[in-house]
Chain A
Amino acid sequence: MLSKLLTLVRKELLDAARDKRSVMAGLYYAIGTPLVMCALFMVLIAQLASPEDLDIKISNADRAPDLVRYLGNQGINHSDSEDAAKIRLVISQDYPQQMAKAKSAQVTIIADNSDEKLQTSIRRLQAQLQAYSSEMGSLRLVARGIDPRVVRSLQINLEDQATPDSKGGMILGIAIFTMIYSVFISGMNLAIDTSAGERERNSLALLLSHPLSTRQLVLSKIIAVTLFAMLGLVLILLVSKLAYTLVPWQELGFSISISPQFMALMLAIGLPVALMAASMQLFVSFMAKTFKEAQSYLTMVLFVPLALSMAASYNIAPDALQWLPVSGQQQALMAFIKGREIPMLQLLVSSLATLALALALALGMERSLKSEKVIFGL
């Protein structure tokens, strides 16, 4: 019995390895995605990280030399370059007079506040002006013999508890999602080829005419597709490990590295997901009569793990999701990356649910392959 299973699996793998379409589908995704993610992260980092020195255009700088010096100490300088002109600080004509009379002197920031790239810089300039303002105010109170603390009713302290790794969690969530998804993408073409394709080529009836059980047939196909999916996962992990070293993480103040521990965990967690993905894709493809039909069904079905995984990345309704297949594993992997404790119970439940789903689909497939309607596509 086992030798027949082995024969079946060997043939499936040989056939698949010679199928350019199946091999390429997995390869493109596993190699391409980490590179695309890298490029995305680089752009993202370039946007998020505000430059050390902020150049702005200051009009009437000679009217407020003290303010300009203060801003200069904070890394905000006047420049005539075109970039600097995007944020302009206009000091009013009567600034020295108003200051001398201890009244409010007007300064105006002119910038496009809807431009996301400028928002951080605008906020930074505002904060510095605010700080200067309150310092001047304190000095005026001291000159009048009043403790400046009376006007400061609240002292706000922010203790940032984010560790470098947890800041990267969101970004890594997306990276993990692309890895989990590789399990679905890498085996998909093979799953279609070995089921709907088998029937399209008229070899399914011939195969079932031989003395082998439908269970052996289903198992061999699941094993072959799962192996392909896991191969895709290994590949994407290796490519990611290399590619993510190219991203200038230090600019964000944290680093993301794909450690061997993470890779081992990913593979262990990925196996049940791969089994489930294989069973699901085969089950759906066996329902379809042709390769093309199976392809269009699967595109729809693949949206479900995509939605689950995405929801887990963005923390939408995280409570229920951490018990579900795919999203549960995704959250456990994210916890691991953020350096938190892995929610073992949730991981166990979601992995078992994944396996149960795979088993149910496999049994369903075994049943359906005994049906004349499915075999001959009646």
Chain B
Amino acid sequence: MIRVSNLTKHIGEVQALADLSFDAANGQITGLLGPNGAGKTTCLRTLFGLLTPDSGTAEIDGIDVAKDPLGAKQQLGLFPDPFGLYERLTPREYISYFAELSGMGRAEARDATARVITRLHLQDIADRRCKGFSQGQRMKTALAQAIVHQPSNIILDEPTRGLDVMSTRLLRDILKDLRDQGHCVLFSSHVMQEVAALCDKVIVMAGGKVVAVGSPAALCRQTGKDSLEEAFIQLIGTDEGIAA
């Protein structure tokens, strides 16, 4: 479970977060939807303790990130944007490295890595160095890294960018699986279709604060529009920075 209360953050002159509050429950896929520059990435970085908020708190499973960053991070898996692969390592080495950093023992990490490689159909590239991987292969490697240690909360930053249809479908299936297993899945996106297809709950962000919260259907009802896209434009008052 992820809970954010009254987060405020200035980066230079820019107010990136303005009194941001929301929560993402276990067993749900929560989408953080907003135009470019709405503060989505800033918010996610704050959840990992990489940015310190000017005020407010972020809690992971009830652990305050500012007070116990290691304990909070222990409960998190991150699918970052950009991926941050090590080009000279193979996916197997890469995934098990991060599994060990997330607190698994060597043997345990090796087994978990083998399992996640099978699950994401990575066998054919598992022992090739990452240099020269396609976007889809990179995405799968990064996703494997995020879920290998079975964290209770998984955070994805713009996960579908640059993916083909097959990779996107695989990603969706994995996210739904994770939800059904009771994980809390939180992802940021500015792609409408993806959010409409996946999310149980949408948090619409603009200008560093929450504009509206609800299921895609509820948001449509609330604004009296037929599609989430129309509803979204109605909510943020502009169609700037949105991909259909």
Residues of A within 8 A of B (CB): 3-4, 7-8, 11, 14-15, 18-19, 201-213, 372, 375-376, 378
Whether B50 and A375, one on each chain, are in contact in the complex, defined by CB atoms closer than 8 angstroms, is: yes
Whether B48 and A209, one on each chain, are in contact in the complex, defined by CB atoms closer than 8 angstroms, is: yes
| Min C-beta distance of B54 to chain A, whole Å | 12
A63 to B202 CA separation, bound complex (whole angstroms): 116
Among B22-30, B73-81, B226-234, the stretch in contact with A: B73-81
Q: List 22 A-B contacts (CB under 8 A).
A: A7-B100, A8-B101, A15-B86, A15-B88, A18-B88, A19-B88, A201-B84, A202-B80, A203-B84, A203-B86, A205-B84, A206-B78, A207-B84, A207-B101, A208-B50, A209-B73, A209-B80, A210-B98, A211-B73, A211-B102, A375-B50, A376-B50
A98 to B90 CA separation, bound complex (whole angstroms): 94
Proximity bits, B43-84, A CB within 8 Å = 1, else 0: 001001011100000000000000001110110101010111
A8 to B98 CA separation, bound complex (whole angstroms): 9
A301 to B186 CA separation, bound complex (whole angstroms): 45
B12 contact set on A, CB distance < 8 A: 378
Interface size class of B (residues with CB under 8 A): 20 to 34
Whether A7 and B101, one on each chain, are in contact in the complex, defined by CB atoms closer than 8 angstroms, is: yes
A372 contact set on B, CB distance < 8 A: 11, 50-52
A260 to B54 CA separation, bound complex (whole angstroms): 59
Closest 7 CB pairs of A and B: A203-B84, A206-B84, A211-B73, A18-B88, A7-B100, A202-B84, A209-B48
A372 to B9 CA separation, bound complex (whole angstroms): 12
Whether B87 and A201, one on each chain, are in contact in the complex, defined by CB atoms closer than 8 angstroms, is: yes
- Since A205-B50, A375-B50 are in contact, a sample of 15 more A-B pairs with Cβ atoms closer than 8 Å, ordered by chain A residue number, is A7-B97, A7-B101, A11-B89, A11-B97, A15-B89, A18-B129, A201-B84, A202-B82, A203-B84, A204-B84, A206-B78, A211-B69, A212-B70, A376-B45, A378-B11
Who on chain B is nearest to A203 by CB?
B84
A207 to B50 CA separation, bound complex (whole angstroms): 11
B45 contact set on A, CB distance < 8 A: 205, 376
A11 to B86 CA separation, bound complex (whole angstroms): 10
A11-B89, A11-B97, A202-B83 known; A3 and B105 CB under 8 Å? yes
A209 contact set on B, CB distance < 8 A: 48, 50, 73, 76, 78, 80
Who on chain A is nearest to B48 by CB?
A209
A205 to B44 CA separation, bound complex (whole angstroms): 12
Who on chain A is nearest to B102 by CB?
A210
Q: Does B125 contact A (CB under 8 A)?
A: no
A366 to B195 CA separation, bound complex (whole angstroms): 39
Q: Does B182 contact A (CB under 8 A)?
A: no
Q: Does B194 contact A (CB under 8 A)?
A: no
| Min C-beta distance of B149 to chain A, whole Å | 9
Q: Does B200 contact A (CB under 8 A)?
A: no
A3 to B88 CA separation, bound complex (whole angstroms): 22
Q: Does B174 contact A (CB under 8 A)?
A: no
Who on chain B is nearest to A206 by CB?
B84
B224 contact set on A, CB distance < 8 A: none
A202 contact set on B, CB distance < 8 A: 80, 82-84
B101 contact set on A, CB distance < 8 A: 4, 7-8, 207, 210-212
| Min C-beta distance of A263 to chain B, whole Å | 32
A378 to B45 CA separation, bound complex (whole angstroms): 14
| Min C-beta distance of B2 to chain A, whole Å | 14
Q: Does B93 contact A (CB under 8 A)?
A: yes
A73 to B69 CA separation, bound complex (whole angstroms): 89
B52 contact set on A, CB distance < 8 A: 372
A212 to B48 CA separation, bound complex (whole angstroms): 12
Whether A211 and B103, one on each chain, are in contact in the complex, defined by CB atoms closer than 8 angstroms, is: yes
A14 to B92 CA separation, bound complex (whole angstroms): 13
Q: Does B163 contact A (CB under 8 A)?
A: no
A14 to B84 CA separation, bound complex (whole angstroms): 17
A213 contact set on B, CB distance < 8 A: 70
Q: Does B85 contact A (CB under 8 A)?
A: yes
Proximity bits, B1-31, A CB within 8 Å = 1, else 0: 0000000000110000000000000000000
